[in-house]
């Protein structure tokens, strides 16, 4: 069926129609169950999407499977052209995309505009490097030529989160599609709108029908997608417990998966750091996206000589942040995604204070005018004198709560930083170049920033280990991760060396 176009019609969001999007078109869901999509800033219902059932998932996977072989045969240079066309279309619709994402996630429009401006780079980058993925060849003993060749998996399942619905989807999709795969996307039920629109725009940009497909729903829809026999690779960004279930589902069918999961990012601030710069970065790293990123800074481990000065500067910056309407360019921080998220964060703050932590600022709900008084806002919160046994130090909160504690010496700083099962991101603040390299090499994290935080680029690999998952996004690692590598051995000797007739060569 024909679905809504990329503009609002009759007050209904463009993505909130009857359908799912697969096979290059909007499709009616087989069932009638729907999911409301609410604004976290006001609680208002923005629209709704279908809950895809087994029949819907089967149809979407079939569309992707039908397109897989023809798409794999497309020359990588031509695949790259298709991706760049989609990137150009996203650039042209950046204001619309940013407004949609801000409304659905509650992130401030200024933040979203900045993020959206970077997203086409992933399409440009992977579209550009796909043709450079070359095999190797060697002549080996006995008169043989061996060479390697890459081939796509076929149908890939992309399970994406609500905190960066388009950014994380494009990071995965650009690599998967450039490598010659087709994809079926299952976005978070909390933020399904922009992934649906991306599928619509991919068809508009000229990608063949079935290359990009989206089914919406809850956890059961994702489980159905992971269990589909045609799906040969699974890529998830989500929570650690969800990652365990996805890894088990992939393992049951012996298909590979990439998992970008939780984090509890430590920031180590040494005594020679510039305190105002470190505090400004702390406010950004802890409170951008209301603390709802996998690498949000949530543990600040600060050298004792700088501790009180850092707390004063950090608290001053946190108190100055403006909360409110996400569509207002003056807003610095929006709400968390759901009421349950807000209550979880506030409960952690209360327990930490009861256990002896010092509340530097925040710790409650801001006083906002209607309709934002009904939103899921939390004051930017800084807790001092936290101890390493407090849950606020150990558990991923996914909210604007920063735990700060002092250290004495580099060895203790690293012990505190590494006291976690997570190993995703970390940051080091120091003016000592030798220390910067030494600590970056010893801290347990897949990505380490020195005198900065959360910088991301399509050329810089992204991913962790431990409870933070495995596999990599970005760079050549991501492109290779979406392909199988095969070896071909060709006899160049003039005659077959018959083993049972006295031949001696063997491999």
Which residues are known catalytic residues? 172, 260, 294, 473
Contact 386/264 with Cβ under 8 angstroms?
no
CA nearest neighbour of 41 among 413, 372, 285: 372
**Cα gap 180→483, rounded to integer Å:** 8
* Strands 465-466 vs 422-423: parallel, antiparallel or unpaired: antiparallel
Q: How far apart are alpha carbons 283 and 234 in whole angstroms?
A: 35
Contact 40, 339 (CB under 8 A): no
> Are the C-beta atoms of residues 449 and 455 closer than 8 Å to each other?
yes
CA dist., res. 209 & res. 468, Å (int): 34
Length of the chain: 507
8-state DSSP, 9? B
Q: What gap in Å lies between CA 59 and CA 101, rounded to an integer? A: 28
Measured distance CA(147)–CA(134) in Å, rounded: 10
Of 295, 313, 321, which Cα lies nearest the Cα of 379?
A: 321
Rounded CA gap, 197 and 177, in Å?
A: 17
Collapsing DSSP to helix, strand or coil, 21 comes out as strand
What is the tally of helices (H) and strands (E) in the chain? Answer: 16, 22
CA distance 74 to 65: 15
Angle at which helix 94-105 crosses helix 165-178, to 10 degrees, equals 120
Q: 423 by DSSP, 3-state: which?
A: strand
Q: Which helix (H) or strand (E) holds 259?
A: strand 257-260
């Amino acid at each position: 069926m024909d679905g809504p176009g990329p503009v609002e019609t009759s007050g209904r969001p463009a993505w909130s129609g009857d359908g799912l999007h697969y096979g290059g078109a909007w499709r009616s869901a087989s069932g009638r169950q729907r999911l409301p999509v609410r604004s976290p800033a006001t609680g208002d219902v923005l629209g709704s999407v279908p809950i895809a059932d087994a029949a819907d998932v089967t149809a979407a996977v079939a569309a992707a499977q039908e397109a897989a072989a023809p798409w794999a045969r497309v020359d990588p240079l031509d695949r790259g052209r298709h991706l760049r066309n989609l990137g150009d279309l996203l650039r042209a619709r950046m204001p619309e995309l940013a407004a949609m994402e801000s409304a659905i996630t509650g992130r401030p429009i200024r933040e979203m505009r900045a993020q959206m401006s970077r997203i086409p780079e992933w399409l440009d980058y992977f579209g550009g490097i796909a043709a450079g993925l070359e095999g190797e060849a060697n002549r080996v003993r006995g008169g043989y030529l061996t060479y390697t060749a890459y081939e796509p998996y076929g149908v890939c399942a992309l399970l994406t989160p609500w905190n960066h619905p388009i950014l994380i989807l494009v990071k995965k999709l650009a690599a998967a599609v450039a490598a010659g795969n087709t994809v079926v996307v299952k976005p978070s039920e909390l933020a399904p709108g922009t992934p649906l629109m991306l599928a619509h725009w991919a068809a508009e940009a000229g990608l063949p029908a079935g290359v990009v497909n989206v089914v919406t729903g809850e956890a059961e829809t994702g489980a159905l997608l992971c269990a589909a026999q045609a799906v040969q690779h699974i890529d998830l960004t989500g929570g650690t417990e969800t990652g365990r279930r996805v890894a088990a589902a992939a393992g049951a069918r012996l298909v590979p998966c990439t998992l970008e999961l939780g984090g509890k990012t430590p920031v180590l601030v040494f005594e020679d750091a510039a305190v105002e710069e470190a505090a400004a970065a702390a406010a950004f790293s802890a409170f951008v996206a209301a603390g709802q990123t996998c690498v949000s800074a949530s543990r600040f481990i600060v050298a004792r000589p700088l501790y009180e000065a850092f707390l004063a500067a950090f608290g001053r910056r946190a108190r100055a942040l403006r909360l409110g309407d996400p569509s207002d360019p003056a807003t610095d921080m929006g709400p968390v995604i759901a009421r349950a998220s807000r209550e979880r964060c506030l409960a952690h703050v209360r327990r930490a204070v009861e256990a002896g932590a010092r509340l530097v600022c925040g710790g409650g709900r801001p006083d906002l005018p209607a309709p934002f008084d009904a939103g899921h806002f939390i004051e930017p919160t800084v807790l001092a004198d936290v101890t390493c046994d407090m849950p606020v130090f150990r558990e991923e909160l996914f909210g604007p709560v920063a735990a700060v504690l002092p250290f004495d010496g580099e060895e203790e700083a690293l012990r505190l930083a590494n006291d976690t099962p997570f190993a995703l991101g970390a940051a080091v603040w120091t003016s000592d170049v030798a220390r910067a390299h030494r600590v970056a090499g010893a801290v347990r994290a897949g990505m380490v920033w020195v005198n900065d935080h959360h910088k991301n680029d399509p050329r810089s690999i992204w991913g962790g280990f431990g409870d933070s998952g495995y596999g990599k996004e970005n760079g050549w690692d991501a492109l290779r991760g979406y392909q199988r590598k095969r070896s071909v051995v060709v006899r160049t000797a003039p005659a077959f060396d018959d083993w049972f007739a006295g031949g001696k060569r063997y491999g």
